[in-house]
Structure 1
Amino acid sequence: MNADVRRIFLAQALRAFAYGFGAILLGVSLEASGWSSGRVGLLLTAIVAGTAIMSIAVGTLGDRIGRRRFYASLFLSLAAAGIVFALTDEFWVLVPVALLGALSTDVVESGPFTSLEQAMLAGGVDNRSRPRVFGNYNAIATLAGSVGALMAGGPALLREAIGGFPSDQRFFLVFVPAGVMGAVVAARLSRQVELEKRPGLGLPLHRSRANVFRLAGLFAIDSFAGGFVVQSFIAYWFRVKFGVSVEVLGLVFFFVGLLQAGSFLVATRLAERIGLLNTMVFTHLPSNLLLAAIPLAPSFPVAMILLFGRFALSQMDVPTRQAYLAALVDEDERTAAAAYTNTARYLTRPIGPALAGVAQQVTLGLPFFIGGGVKAAYDIAIWSWFRRVPIGTEEAGQLQEAKR
């Protein structure tokens, strides 16, 4: 593992911690602001829209401007956003800042930061090492984000112990050191993370354009289906169906985070034996069948076991998907390929929760069936379309060696 990879891991951990902390803090601050649900929804939509817009900018301009320069500027935008969110709750001030694309509604985002990191990591290692690097990358993000989420309860505890302690909103200032330190780390990356020759004004995708657009469409479908079963809905379903307490739900989802982090590491070892695409499909498909089975569980322990089984498998396609995409495209297409496929996921994901709300009117567990069914169809489609598409020569040689 070279120095650039370690620096990217550090920068990503700083950001994931800030996002984990901010995801909880944002919800608490919006509730305290007294805004209408419509305004809350618009601000969250602006954050998602900003992520998509900046991801497209990364894909189109990232290699022309320079990956390090763009990466550092995103971290500085994160610091600036933290200052604004800490000092004001004026809706018309926060929306333009949200549209800058530096914030995230998720602990582990798939936006402009991730698109640049995927391209830089892919160029820093060979095809044989790449899956493990992406596995470590995602595990670090999940663990750092989980720690950030746990730390978000600190201000409330301190406020109970110390009179006159600042409001929760002021703690968005945590984004400032995270952003500044991230920018410093980005500036210390070597020239090796850049393309040897920056592209001109032509399209950033060329040979792999058709495959990237096809993957983007499939990833959009998968993300749309995931929107039916976001974590907040799963927690709501357990609460309504079995009367599970908030404390127990917190422990359940903390353990889910640990399972996900571990699964990233297992996935990369499995990919070395059976290949990237096989690992993506043959772990994701059974996880979706487990997802669809959850509303059929007769008791909370059975439903919890199904949930744990689902999350032990469902995220194993993440590092393998990133490594597969990097191997599928040429080196000068990686930034654009990562950005466009990540953007596709962001564009469709908000639709799922809205439709899930309608589906619940039919029966409470229907979103599980819809989400699991559509995701299973995605698995079959990606296997059917891409199992004969050649990828990087190094991985092909690796698979042949493993079969001997």
Structure 2
Amino acid sequence: MRRLLLPKGADGHVLPLLVGRALRAFADGYVAVLLPVYLLALGFDTWQVGFLSSATLLGTAATTLAVGAWGHRFQHRRLLLAAALLMALTGFAFAAQSAFWPLLLIAFFGTLNPSSGDVSLFVPLEHARLAEAAHGEARTALFARYSLLGSLFAALGALAVAWPDRLVLMAGLDRLDALRAMFALYGLQGGLVWLLYRRLPALHGDKSPPPQPLGPSRAVVLKLAALFSVDSFAGGLAVNSLLALWLFKRFDLSLAAAGSFFFWAGLLTATSQLAAPRLARRIGLLNTMVFTHIPANLCLIGAALSPGLETAIGLLLLRSLLSQMDVPARGAFVMSVVTPQERAAAASFTAVPRSLASAVSPTLGGVLIAAGWLDVPLVACGALKIAYDLTLWVAFRRFSARF
């Protein structure tokens, strides 16, 4: 297992992080699809679904900002253990509540993820550890394995959206209780992640510099953060929860069929992660980020304008094959342009604006869908992301030869 997960030249101490990433991704895979179903089953309106999705991302931004500002004062292992404990509490609390305002508070302070990517306070802490565990091409390969596990297990998690219906048939539960059981399972997985992270070493290696707040790299990090926020605002218009809602409303897709779609979409995304390091070696990290992203967003716009389900699904699957190839390249790029001491802070400060920006757009997307403008969020998402890609390339193309 160690040989399969770790690229040559990577430190084995990050193995629990990779396994923990897989567990979290599996949970995120079914939560993203079941979240709107559960909230609608509780009697909430479409705009409330979008509002709660926004609350999850806004709360994530707040906790991630706290990690970036003050996390260097604490051991990363302790912060990761606290994050895993929060994940466990989030799942059990969400399963126990039915009223809007308690769920809103849990969504804000908890770790639920309504998107296809990993937006959580785990990210800056894990990225800093990964960056210390490898160098050069091995670092890009390690980030690719990290993203691959996330995509693969998120795809497997999407298949689990069929479990509530099976619980109804096999265990005699009503549908709402079956949905609650899935959020309780999310809490159990948080407990498993906590057990895994207990195996992490308490201290950084002797040769690893102690983490520090942003300093020499502040200007480049702020520029990247601003650009990433545009990308994330756009992505928030088509997070998995809203994309599932779009499929339900536009094509009357069943829950089982939606689960199958998100499984294959995730599987294609996972497959693409294997190609990302090789592509980055050939054309560079920046070009990998940009020139795989633009076609993916053209596919999203095409899917939104498609007259039939088959064409829309085909374009969305093609988008899935391309849209996340930039993720390992982006993580490695950010870690490459900052000093080692600033890596945790840089990962946090590039993640926070993304979470803040993406926190606003699900509410907007939910309102547009509720108003009957089903396709507008997807078209706007694709157009804004293409604008981000072009701006990023123009702003950083002079560095592309270095990374």
Distance 1:27 1:242, change over 3 A: closer
Aligned ranges 1:268-307 → 2 under 5 Å: 268-295=277-304, 297=306, 301-307=310-316
Residue deviations 1:269-306 (CA, integer Å, cap 9, x gap): 11011110111111112222333344555655544443
Task: Please state how far the C-alpha of 1:363 moved relative to its aligned partner.
Answer: 7.1
Greater shift after overlay, 149-158 or 161-170?
161-170
Contact 2:91-2:186 within 8 A present in 1 as well: yes
| Residue in structure 2 matched with residue 163 of structure 1 by the alignment | 172
Q: Percent identity?
A: 38
Greater shift after overlay, 302-311 or 137-146?
302-311
Residue deviations 1:6-47 (CA, integer Å, cap 9, x gap): 211111112222222333444343233334556555543332
| Residue in structure 2 matched with residue 383 of structure 1 by the alignment | 393
| Residue in structure 2 matched with residue 83 of structure 1 by the alignment | 92
Q: What is the letter of the counterpart of residue 347 of structure 1? A: L
Contact 1:142-1:257 within 8 A present in 2 as well: yes
Does 2:197 match 1:186?
yes
Match of 1:372 among 382, 387, 391: 382
Distance 1:87 1:291, change over 3 A: closer
| Residue in structure 2 matched with residue 205 of structure 1 by the alignment | 214
TM-score (norm 2): 0.84
Output the CA distance in 2 between the equivalents of 1:362 and 1:86. 30
Output the CA distance in 2 between the equivalents of 1:67 and 1:23. 27
Contact 2:61-2:355 within 8 A present in 1 as well: yes
Instruction: Tell me the secondary structure at the aligned position of residue 329 of structure 1.
Output: coil
Contact 1:71-1:113 within 8 A present in 2 as well: yes
Task: Please state how far the C-alpha of 1:72 moved relative to its aligned partner.
Answer: 0.6
Aligned ranges 1:140-179 → 2 under 5 Å: 140-163=149-172, 167-179=178-190
TM-score (norm 1): 0.84
Instruction: Tell me the secondary structure at the aligned position of residue 137 of structure 2.
Output: coil
Contact 1:293-1:306 within 8 A present in 2 as well: yes
Output the CA distance in 2 between the equivalents of 1:198 and 1:374. 38
Output the CA distance in 2 between the equivalents of 1:24 and 1:223. 19
Output the CA distance in 2 between the equivalents of 1:280 and 1:112. 23
Distance 1:384 1:156, change over 3 A: same
| Residue in structure 1 matched with residue 107 of structure 2 by the alignment | 98
Distance 1:56 1:170, change over 3 A: same
Q: What is the letter of the counterpart of residue 138 of structure 1? A: S
Output the CA distance in 1 between the equivalents of 2:86 and 2:342. 25
| Residue in structure 2 matched with residue 402 of structure 1 by the alignment | none
Contact 1:67-1:193 within 8 A present in 2 as well: no
Output the CA distance in 2 between the equivalents of 1:46 and 1:380. 30
| Residue in structure 2 matched with residue 51 of structure 1 by the alignment | 60
| Residue in structure 1 matched with residue 27 of structure 2 by the alignment | 18
Instruction: Tell me the secondary structure at the aligned position of residue 188 of structure 1.
Output: coil
Q: How many correspondences in the alignment?
A: 390
Aligned-residue Cα RMSD (Å) equals 3.1
Distance 1:86 1:299, change over 3 A: closer
Residue deviations 1:122-158 (CA, integer Å, cap 9, x gap): 1111121111111111121122222223224324312
Match of 1:323 among 300, 324, 332: 332
Distance 1:183 1:364, change over 3 A: closer
Greater shift after overlay, 183-192 or 85-94?
85-94
Greater shift after overlay, 275-284 or 138-147?
138-147
Distance 1:194 1:301, change over 3 A: farther
Instruction: Tell me the secondary structure at the aligned position of residue 375 of structure 1.
Output: helix
Output the CA distance in 2 between the equivalents of 1:33 and 1:205. 44
Q: What is the letter of the counterpart of residue 140 of structure 2? A: P
Task: Please state how far the C-alpha of 1:69 moved relative to its aligned partner.
Answer: 0.6
Contact 2:46-2:370 within 8 A present in 1 as well: no
Structure 2: gaps (5+ residues): 1-5
